[in-house]
Structure 1
Amino acid sequence: MKINDAVLEFNNVSFSYPQSQHILDKLAFRIKPGEFVSIIGASGTGKSTIFRLIVGLEQPTKGSIYLNGVEETNRLGKLGYMPQKDLLLPWRNVLENVALPLETENRKYDKGAVLQQLEAVGLGRVHDKYPNELSGGMRQRVSFLRASQAASDLLLLDEPFSALDAMTKLHMQEWLLTQWNQTETSIVFITHDIAEALFLSDKIFVIREAPIQMVEEIEVPLKRPRQRQQLDTPQLIELKNELMNLFNMQVIR
Structure 2
Amino acid sequence: MGEQKLTIEHLNKNFEVDGKSVNILNDINLNINEGEFVAIVGHSGCGKSTLLKIIAGLLDYEEGSVILDNKKITKPDIDRGMVFQEHRLFPWLTIKENLAIGLDQLDKKEKEEIISDHLKLVDLEDFGNVYPHQLSGGMSQRAAIARALVNAPKVLLLDEPFGALDALTKITLQDEILKIWEKEKTTMIMVTHDIEEAVYLADRIVVMSARPGRIKEIVNVNLGRSRDRGSVDFARIKKRILVHFFEDKSLTLEYNI
Q: TM-score, normalised by structure 2?
A: 0.88
Name the one with the larger helix percent.
1
Q: Show CA shifts across 1:81-127 (max 9, x none).
A: 11111011000001111121324xx4545213312321343211111
- The 1:99–1:70 alpha-carbon spacing in structure 2 relative to 1, beyond 3 Å, is same
- The 1:213–1:119 alpha-carbon spacing in structure 2 relative to 1, beyond 3 Å, is closer
> What is the match of residue 216 of structure 1?
217
C-alpha contact (below 8 Å) 2:204/2:220 kept by paired residues:
yes
> What is the match of residue 31 of structure 2?
30
C-alpha contact (below 8 Å) 1:6/1:69 kept by paired residues:
no
2:102 alignment partner, SS class: helix
Aligned pairs, number: 244
Report the alpha carbon displacement of residue 170 of structure 1 after superposing the two structures with TM. Answer: 0.7
Task: Confirm or deny that 1:232 pairs with 2:230.
Answer: yes
Report the alpha carbon displacement of residue 60 of structure 1 after superposing the two structures with TM. Answer: 1.6
Once residues 191 and 72 of structure 1 are traced to their aligned partners in structure 2, the CA distance between those partners, rounded to angstroms, is: 23
Q: TM-score, normalised by structure 1?
A: 0.89
Q: Show CA shifts across 1:6-32 (max 9, x none).
A: 211111111101333111222111110
Report the alpha carbon displacement of residue 152 of structure 1 after superposing the two structures with TM. Answer: 2.2
Report the alpha carbon displacement of residue 186 of structure 1 after superposing the two structures with TM. Answer: 0.5
Instruction: Report sequence identity in percent.
Output: 34
> What is the match of residue 254 of structure 2?
none
Root-mean-square deviation (CA, aligned residues, Å) is: 1.9
Once residues 51 and 230 of structure 2 are traced to their aligned partners in structure 1, the CA distance between those partners, rounded to angstroms, is: 31
Deviates more, 1:207-216 or 1:133-142: 207-216
Once residues 215 and 51 of structure 1 are traced to their aligned partners in structure 2, the CA distance between those partners, rounded to angstroms, is: 17
Task: Confirm or deny that 1:122 pairs with 2:123.
Answer: yes
1:110 alignment partner, SS class: helix
1:17 alignment partner, SS class: strand
Q: Show CA shifts across 1:219-248 (max 9, x none).
A: 002113x14xx2222222122123234324
Name the one with the larger strand percent.
2
Q: 1:247 aligns with which of 225, 245, 249?
A: 245
Q: Which runs of 5 or more residues in structure 2 are unaligned?
A: 252-257
1:221 alignment partner, SS class: coil
> What is the match of residue 6 of structure 2?
8
C-alpha contact (below 8 Å) 1:57/1:76 kept by paired residues:
no
Aligned-partner residue type, residue 174 of structure 2: Q
C-alpha contact (below 8 Å) 2:100/2:111 kept by paired residues:
no
Task: Confirm or deny that 1:91 pairs with 2:92.
Answer: yes
> What is the match of residue 170 of structure 2?
169
C-alpha contact (below 8 Å) 1:42/1:250 kept by paired residues:
no
> What is the match of residue 68 of structure 1?
69
Deviates more, 1:214-223 or 1:91-100: 214-223
Deviates more, 1:137-146 or 1:118-127: 118-127
